[in-house]
Amino acid sequence: MHDIRAIRENPAAFDAALSRRGLAPVSSEILVLDESRRTKIQAAETAQAAANTAAKAIGAAKAAGNEEEFQKLRAEVATKKAEIAKLNDDAKAEDAKLHDLLMGIPNLPYDEVPDGKDEDDNVEIRKVGSPRNFSFTPLEHYEIPAATSGLDFETAAKLSGSRFVVMRGAMARLHRALAQFMLDLHTTEHGLTEMITPVLVREEMMYGTGQLPKFGEDSYQTTNGWWLIPTSEVTLTNVVNGEMLEADQLPIRMTSHTQCFRSEAGSAGRDTSGMLRQHQFEKVEMVSITKPEDSAAEHERMTSCAEAVLERLGLPYRTVVLCTGDLGAGMRKTHDIEVWLPGQDRYREISSVSVAGDYQARRMNARYRDGDGKPQFVHTLNGSGLAVGRALIAVLENGQEEDGSVTLPSALHPYLGGRTKVTPEGELV
């Protein structure tokens, strides 16, 4: 949500920032509605003052026995009350309309975010690690013999339909090991506090982080009004919903491993094979709540935390900054981390690390007291650390051998009872 005062002070800059997203100017519509609302509020206050004056005069007229003046003043007060009620109702309606309008406008990209139309215009920041040279043609994850018996898409389709998977045996344990490894790294070395949060949330929590009102079709809602979280960004960020924090409580750094649910409404026909794009998946999420002046450095820090997971796993990756055309609606700047998948012969996203500024905080009314004791909105940041299923894909594809086995990263060996590979038959050894 946007600060109406900032729009009043510099509407041209607001429209210019939105135009970088390819959106038409909206400041004039906002300011007309805002001015009308404020005019009605001021008129109601003026009318209330007049009514108060008349009400005081009623007593004097009554005491003086001036029945004519008494009745006149009573009628005047009644008229003013009706006028005030009408002005307040109109102002309230316009305030709700203004609120809905501001809630539906995307966040403003930072100046340093590159301009562009889509993912082809994203800018690479760095590339780490070199893709392995295979002596054979590498397979996609769902074709590797070591994985085929443990990734059961047919049973999942029988149970739930397309874009689901049943994992068994070595694949289930490897998936669990990856999540445990990520959590341990973030909590013991990166200073994040582990959280266990619900996967069902109230509707206002989805509004708080910006999934609603515009992106409801991308998520699932239960018949009694709860929403299934598309990511634990929703729950972790809303921990501070409605809170007034003290400056010394910041930064707050959290991580959580949860199931996530997405309808993938806008991805029909994309990545239908394997487990790259699923309706239900697991992710280790990172969320930070900071002071405004600290959020840029925190963004870099969180990016390095996500990159560290890939480095420990020995997986080649590249980090890009998203252009304005590919930037999420609620974010001011995003780093995407893309892991190398030899089966696809390309880099694919495995983490997005984003800074929202005070956009989510305004929606949640999440504030802190600065050094002068003045309430300020916090800044919120979130990032995948990492998507567990996609990490499994990357481990399988990068570790595959010509005989159909998979050699596993040394970082995972302690989580697998010392086992170092998956045989072509799907056994951990």
Provide the annotated binding site for ATP: 262-264, 349-352
Q: Which position among 219, 390, 397, 405 bears the catalytic label?
A: 390
Bridge partners of 195?
256
Q: Are 348 and 339 in contact (CB under 8 A)?
A: yes
Q: Where is the binding site, in residues?
A: 231-233, 262-264, 285, 349-352, 382, 384
Whether 349 is catalytic is yes
The residue annotated as part of the active site, out of 349, 401, 419, 427, is 349
In DSSP terms, 384 is beta-bridged to: 285
* Residues making up the binding site for L-serine: 231-233, 262, 285, 382, 384
Let me know if 419 is a catalytic residue.
no
Calpha distance 213→208 (Å, rounded): 10
CB 406 within 8 A of CB 426: no
Q: Specify whether 362 is catalytic.
A: no
DSSP run (H or E) holding 156: helix 153-160
Q: Which of 27, 256, 288, 352 is catalytic?
A: 352
Q: Tell me if the bond preceding 251 is cis, omega within 30° of 0.
A: yes
Q: How far apart are CA 185 and CA 182, in angstroms?
A: 5
The rounded distance, in Å, linking the Cα atoms of 28 and 149 is 60
Half-sphere exposure of 192 (CA within 13 A, CB side): 29
Is 8 one of the annotated active-site residues of the chain? Answer: no
How would you classify the pairing of strands 193-195 and 252-261? parallel
Q: Has 143 been annotated as catalytic?
A: no
Would you say 110 and 332 are in contact if contact means Cβ atoms under 8 Å apart?
yes
Rounded to whole angstroms, the Cα distance separating 361 from 239 reads 11
Q: Quick one: tokens of 413?
A: 């060996």
**3-state per-residue secondary structure call for 32-65:** HHHHHHHHHHHHHHHHHHHHHHHHHHHHHHHHHC
- For residue 232, the SS3 value is coil
Which one from 38, 176, 277, 318 is the annotated catalytic residue?
277
CA angle 146, 152, 155 (to 5 degrees): 160
DSSP 254-323: EEEEEEEE---TT-TTSS-STTSS-SEEEEEEEEEEE-GGGHHHHHHHHHHHHHHHHHHHT--EEEEEPP
Query: Looking at 253, 262, 363, 367, which residue is catalytic?
Result: 262
* 412 close to 177: Cβ distance less than 8 angstroms: yes
Active-site residues, by number, are 262, 277, 349, 352, 390
